[in-house]
């Protein structure tokens, strides 16, 4: 059976959402991010991204990692695409062309959206008091996000989904990436098609099941 290493309050959420969508059973090892622990190296620390046993699977010390039929795989977008290909359409690619488009959207999410969206999450979304320097970082990140989000907006306004006029793994990858910026109104209100698509995607039973598990984990 597929094993997912990583707590649900991490990028493992996108893998877990996909598994629920395609009805794929999995075991979850709740490895937690070391930075969330006061002393990740303490003898009584829970299993975390510093733990020696986890480092054997993930030398870079990052979650999520999966084990599947002897394959050990890290990098959440690679994991999504691997599982989607293995289990194929409707959520995975039905042709090499769809496969290429799914790759395109995943690369766009990973390279042009995720870093700045995470800046918005960490410096704005969690409601911390912001220094002037933080506010400048937030404004710059939001400014850089306009161009890639415009591409996503145009695609969704015309087709409703990213690939194949249906909900696919590309929508999961992109929705989980844009979620990091979702709480930043001055940016997101410029993209109504993305807003509606996020509401629909996050209303799906697969997302809701993942989200309830996530909320049940300690912050
Ligand atoms: N590009 C990687 C990033 C993985 C990553 O940074 N994961 C975070 C949690 S979402 C992590 O494990 N951080 C560990 C730490 O900082 O201790 C992916 O998409 O899987």
Best residue among 13, 33, 77 to mutate for probing ligand 1's pocket (most ligand atoms within 8 Å of CB) is 33
d(CA 47, CA 209): 24
- In the 8-state DSSP scheme, what is residue 45? P
Which residues' Cβ are closer than 6 Å to ligand 1?
10-11, 33-35, 49, 61-64, 75-77
Q: What are the boundaries of each domain within the chain?
A: 2-90, 96-207
96-207 shares the fold of 2-90: no
d(CA 36, CA 52): 17
165 C-alpha to center of ligand 1: Å?
31
119 is written with which tokens?
């800046």
Q: Which atom of ligand 1 is nearest to the CA of 11?
A: 10
The CA-atom distances, in angstroms, between 66 and each of 30, 126, 183, 201 are 12, 28, 29, 24
95 C-alpha to center of ligand 1: Å?
30
The CATH number given to 96-207 is: 1.20.1050.10
Is the separation of the CB atoms in 84 and 91 below 8 Å? yes
The kind and range of the H/E element at 160 are: none
Q: Which atom of ligand 1 is nearest to the CA of 40?
A: 17
Q: Please provide residue 71's backbone torsions phi and psi, each rounded to the nearest 5 degrees.
A: -85, 130
158 C-alpha to center of ligand 1: Å?
33
Q: Give residue 128's pLDDT.
A: 67
- Other beta carbons less than 10 A from residue 183's beta carbon: 14
Q: Give residue 127's pLDDT.
A: 67
181 C-alpha to center of ligand 1: Å?
17
Each residue's pLDDT tens digit in the chain (219 positions)?
A: 999 999 999 999 999 999 999 999 999 999 999 999 999 999 999 999 999 999 999 989 999 999 999 999 999 999 999 999 999 889 999 999 999 999 999 999 999 999 999 999 999 877 665 778 888 999 999 999 999 999 999 999 999 999 999 999 999 999 999 999 999 999 999 999 999 999 999 999 999 999 999 999 998
Domain 2-90 has CATH 3.40.30.10: yes
Q: Which atom of ligand 1 is nearest to the CA of 36?
A: 17
């Amino acid at each position: 059976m597929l094993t997912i290493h990583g707590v649900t309050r991490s990028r493992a959420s996108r893998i877990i959402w996909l598994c629920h969508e395609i009805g794929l059973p999995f075991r979850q090892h709740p490895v937690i991010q070391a930075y969330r622990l006061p002393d990740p190296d303490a003898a009584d620390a829970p299993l975390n991204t510093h733990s020696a046993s986890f480092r054997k699977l993930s030398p870079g010390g990052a979650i999520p990692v999966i084990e599947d039929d002897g394959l050990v795989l890290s990098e959440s977008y690679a994991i999504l695409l691997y599982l989607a290909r293995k289990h194929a359409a409707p959520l995975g690619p039905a042709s090499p062309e769809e496969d290429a488009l799914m790759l395109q959207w995943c690369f766009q999410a990973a390279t042009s959206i995720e870093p700045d969206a995470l800046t918005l999450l960490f410096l704005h979304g969690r409601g911390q008091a912001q220094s002037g320097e933080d506010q400048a970082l937030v404004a710059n990140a939001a400014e850089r996000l306009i161009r890639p989000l415009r591409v996503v907006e145009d695609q969704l306004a015309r087709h409703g989904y990213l690939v194949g006029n249906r909900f696919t793994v590309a929508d999961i990858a992109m929705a989980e990436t844009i979620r990091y910026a979702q709480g930043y109104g001055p940016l997101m209100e410029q993209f109504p098609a993305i807003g509606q698509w996020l509401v629909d995607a996050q209303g799906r039973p697969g997302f809701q099941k993942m989200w309830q598990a996530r909320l049940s984990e300690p912050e």
